[in-house]
Homo-oligomer: A and B are copies of this chain.
Amino acid sequence: MLFFENDYGEGAHEKILEGLQKTNYEKLPGYETDCYCERARKKIKQACGCPEADVFFLAGGTQTNAVVIRSMLRPYEGVIAAGTGHVSSHEAGAIEYTGHKVLELPDHQGKIEAEELKAYLKKFYGDESHEHMVFPGMVYISHPTEYGTLYSKQELKALFSICCDYRIPLYIDGARLGYGLMSRETDVTLPFLAEHCHVFYIGGTKVGALCGEAVVFTKNNTPDHFMTLVKQQGALPAKGRLLGVQFDVLFTENLYTELGRRAIETAELLKEAFRENGYTFYLESPTNQQFILLEDVQAEQLSREVSFSFWEKPDATHTVVRFVTSWATREEDIEKLKQLLRKYRKNDG
């Protein structure tokens, strides 16, 4: 069975496993105070071009979102996000569990628009009478989004500028950041992104690590006693080395970049395979997630030989599905997929 279901289907890149092996018997202090966490922090700050940043490691995305958002919101505030944002709908209410509302803006293929954000904030803060409403206290975006789409430099700049005007932080969920940075259609670099937000995280779990996300506060704005909050929310690992070693390896000799590039290369081949067989793209994604509109019959046929994700049913006879490549996808699998796509393409002539 071919595998294009998601980007967390394999374990970790060999170098990460080697790193864990090599350091295994070193006796290290716990709770992210070890030398590998420290080393990884330095490398990440350097890669971000942001020496004044503070870097912390957490285990997974939902956890990271809940801890970061809670740590930066005041109790009367909520977080603005696209309706399709991961925090809005796929985290089982993890943000509301922290006591904060997710204030939804309309999404445009997963993205929010600067003009709509501005209008929302202007309406709220322009009028004095909103004391009985949740204050918009933070903006959450994902890059790439849940639809694989990317913000341009200009778009990020606009969002960041609005957030600065209203003195609320811009937070970027980078669960798949590696794939976004290596897209052929992006002009956003890691230092640009670090400069144009207040906090973001670099996803490890979906980009070659066993687990782990690196949170980066970029504006000397780490919340007081952040690690105590991490502990309180159950997110502080005793063996911090597990995260430290992995990120140290990922940020050594550009491995993180390299892993991103591989997924993009196979994603491009994947797109070509769909395109040349006449399949319909549900939307244009420049990263490793591709959304395809299939006839139900096709979806059923393909699902017997290749695994992919069901996304939604736009009408009675069609299905939107998601095909994903990752750091671990091999070109030979794309070749095999190509055969299948040919076999099951629509007989329309």
Q: Which residues of A contact B (CB under 8 A)?
A: 3, 5-6, 8-12, 14, 17, 20-21, 23-30, 59-67, 70-71, 74-76, 78, 89-94, 96-97, 99-102, 129, 131-135, 205-206, 210-211, 224-225, 227-229, 231-239, 241-242, 307, 310, 328
Contact = CB atoms under 8 A, between A and B. Distances in A.
- What copy number does this chain have within its complex? 4
Nearest to A130: B228
A160 to B, nearest CB: 24
Contacts of A17: 17, 20-21, 24
Contacts of A231: 62, 91-92, 94, 131-132
Contacts of A8: 30, 238-239
Nearest to A3: B27
Nearest to A25: B10
Contacts of A102: 101
Contact of A239 (B11, B65, B134): B11
B67 A132 contact: no
B66 A234 contact: yes
A11 B211 CA distance: 15
Given A8-B239, A94-B232, 7 more contacts: A11-B20, A21-B21, A60-B234, A75-B229, A90-B133, A94-B233, A135-B225
